[in-house]
Homo-oligomer: A and B are copies of this chain.
Amino acid sequence: MKVNKNLPTPLYHQVKDYLEEKIILGEWDPGYQLPTEKELSAHFQVSTITVKRAIHDLVNKGILYRQRGKGTFVSRKEDKDIYQLVSLRNEAEEDKHHPHKSLSFQEEEAGVKIGKMLGINAKDKVYKIHRLKIEEETPVGIEYTYIPYSLFPGLTETMIEDDLFYNVFTNKYGMNLGKAKIFFSTIIADEYEANLLKIPKGEQLFVLERFTYTEEQQIIEYSRFIIRQEKSRYFIEIRL
């Protein structure tokens, strides 16, 4: 296959479209390792710079990802409903695993920032829970959860190890949950995040921030989820 040098569409764009079509049509499955840049440039009869640029664009779009020393692969994205983030575990899910690796479980002063978020004083104590979300033995997300100490006396690491926060809130502490407010943003991985997630520093990460309110509009939890992009694609469905 040759690209068409007479078209007004830039060459790298034609290569990009061609690669993307392979993936959309399912000829290249998730996990498929792409030919090398040299092979692709021979195949299309374009420079490796053109191929590099096309691949770079598809990596930026999360369609491809690179593994150091191994090559370039088609991303395997799992579509995830945002509602999963706020759902109570039902019986059907009872034996599913939600594996986390605990990084720390501390009682500490809220500080200005977290205090403001939880609507408490900077000097008030909070539980700060820092965990790594694991899927198929791979770290996929970094989680920080902050909970006012005064509302959940006696909360222990064991209680949340094998249960969802929302189950603990309702079953163990009798809270009436009202609503969750979820914010979306992105960050660039710093060294700490890159090391935890085993990704290159500077990669884009997706951020979900969740505030949980009781029926009485009191904020009882703030969580920050920092998520690897090439592993999941979050969505929400809205009835019209």
Please give the residue numbers on chain A whose beta carbons come within 8 Å of chain B beta carbons, in ascending order: 17, 20-21, 24-25, 57, 60-62, 79, 82-83, 86, 112-113, 116, 166, 177-188, 190, 204, 206, 212, 229, 233-240
Contact = CB atoms under 8 A, between A and B. Distances in A.
Given A180-B237, A183-B233, A183-B235, A24 B188 contact: no
A182 B240 CA distance: 13
B112 A179 contact: no
How many identical subunits does the complex contain?
2
Contacts of A180: 237-238, 240
Residue among A86, A179, A188 with max Cβ neighbours from chain B (10 Å) = A188
A240 B177 CA distance: 6
A184 B184 contact: yes
A113 B20 contact: yes
B234 A187 contact: no
Residue among A79, A181, A184, A190 with max Cβ neighbours from chain B (10 Å) = A184
A20 B240 CA distance: 39
A181 B79 CA distance: 12
Given A204-B186, A206-B186, A83 B238 contact: yes
Nearest 9 interchain pairs by C-beta: A177-B240, A186-B186, A60-B188, A183-B235, A21-B112, A184-B234, A180-B238, A181-B237, A186-B204
A236 B234 CA distance: 13
Contacts of A186: 62, 186, 204, 206, 229
Given A20-B113, A113-B24, A206-B185, A57 B235 contact: no
B233 A185 contact: yes
Contact of A239 (B25, B179, B206): B179
Contacts of A236: 82, 181-182, 236
Contacts of A61: 187
Contacts of A187: 60-62
A185 B188 CA distance: 13
19 contacts: A17-B113, A20-B113, A24-B113, A25-B112, A60-B187, A60-B190, A79-B183, A178-B239, A179-B238, A179-B240, A180-B237, A181-B235, A181-B236, A182-B235, A182-B238, A186-B229, A204-B204, A212-B240, A236-B236
